[in-house]
Copies of this chain bind each other. A is one copy, B any other.
Amino acid sequence: MFSPIEWHIAANGPVVRMLDQTRLPHEVVWVDCPDHQTVAKGIKDLWVRGAPAIGIAAAMGLALGARAIKAGSYDDFVRQLKPIHDTLAATRPTAVNLFWALNRMNTVVRIHKDRTVEEIKERLIQEARAVHEEDIRRNVAMGGHGARLIHAGDTILTHCNTGALATGGHGTALGVIFSAWESGKRIKVLVDETRPVLQGSRLTMWELQQNKIPATLITDSMAGAFMKKGGIRLCLVGADRIAANGDTANKIGTYSVAVLARAHKIPFYVAAPTSTIDFSIAHGDQIPIEERNPDEVTNVFGKVRIAPANVEVANPAFDVTPAKYITGIITEQGIFKPGELKRKLGGKK
């Protein structure tokens, strides 16, 4: 199973090894992060992105940071762990998986408070690896559920990147497409390029090409015209945070796709592990939206400037799609209507 992030034992000790996705599709460069600061930088600078992958990276980053602590007591350890946690938590505000994973790690620290510091450090490494492995298992399960929605001959529109690159492996929305393809269904994928960071053209097209799945790249502005033309059977996207009522924060542009899908009577599905659902938030208006550097808009791929100097730019990284536009949410536990989340999954969390 291809994974963009791994806990790797290097000559000088463990590192978090991540694929620098900002350099795809032209270069496949792996970066070994020797400390939690480098992991935090990797999350912030989008070497690793995608809500589930961010969660895994944060858990591994915390385990790495914890390992380097020299502490004489549990309290000393906890005190030194705090700034490490805070550094990782401050990287990106929208993806709830980041906080979910860090909370899991904190729980490990708490429930093992009677063990030695060295034992707790070891448990944290185990937990981070478990977060990774469980993510892959969840994605494969999600793919199985979602693939039932896809039929041979379907054309599926997707936005951003939600494949192996965005997760521990296999992917969420793109994982559903992979599962359908692996089960023998001949399908086609229409890929929004996903400005400004171009996760669609750079990453999703790369993953589909690696898997030899027929795909056509379009600009985000073409989605409506292709829906009108007919032939798109399904829209499939991921999520960075889902509120209790089903409102879904995802990559900027997702909301437009959802409104357009509704206008063309095309089913619109979100695929996300249940760890992406934030039952502490009643509706989408409460989800914090990250505003990123304007240079992402004005300097494409960090290389070519496409606007005059000194222009004002907006760059919200995400938008919120109200539940009413979402046909269903595909999780590892099955497919749910947005309105069912709280009743069917809320109690288990």
- The answer to whether A300 touches B301, judged by C-beta atoms less than 8 angstroms apart, is yes
Answer yes or no: A130 CB below 8 A from chain B CBs.
Answer: no
User: Which residues in window 285-302 of A have CB below 8 A to B?
Assistant: 297-298, 300-301
User: Scoring A residues 214 to 226 as 1 if CB is less than 8 Å from chain B, else 0, what string do you get?
Assistant: 1111111111111
- The answer to whether B224 touches A256, judged by C-beta atoms less than 8 angstroms apart, is yes
| A83 proximity list for chain B (CB < 8 A) | none
- The answer to whether B307 touches A201, judged by C-beta atoms less than 8 angstroms apart, is yes
- The answer to whether B198 touches A219, judged by C-beta atoms less than 8 angstroms apart, is no
**Which residue of B221, B226, B319 contacts A220 across the interface (Cβ within 8 Å)?**
B221
CB-CB under 8 A for A215 and B311, given A201-B306, A306-B198: yes
The stretch from A104-112, A119-127, A168-176, A202-210 touching chain B is A202-210
- The answer to whether B222 touches A252, judged by C-beta atoms less than 8 angstroms apart, is yes
CB-CB under 8 A for A217 and B252, given A306-B198, A314-B222: no
User: Scoring A residues 179 to 195 as 1 if CB is less than 8 Å from chain B, else 0, what string do you get?
Assistant: 00000000000001111
The interface size of chain A toward B, counting residues with CB under 8 Å, comes to: 52
Bound form: Cα–Cα A223–B304 in Å: 23
Answer yes or no: A349 CB below 8 A from chain B CBs.
Answer: no
Q: How far is the CB of A268 from chain B (nearest CB, A)?
A: 13
| A224 proximity list for chain B (CB < 8 A) | 253, 255-256, 259, 319
Q: Which 9 A-B pairs have the closest CB atoms?
A: A221-B253, A224-B256, A225-B319, A195-B219, A25-B308, A220-B221, A201-B307, A300-B300, A303-B304
Mark A residues whose CB is within 8 Å of B. Answer: 25-26, 192-196, 198, 201-202, 205-206, 209, 214-226, 228, 252-253, 255-256, 259-260, 262-263, 297-298, 300-301, 303-308, 310-314, 316, 319
A sample of 6 cross-chain residue pairs with beta-carbon separation below 8 angstroms, ordered by A number, consists of: A26-B305, A196-B219, A217-B307, A218-B297, A218-B313, A300-B306
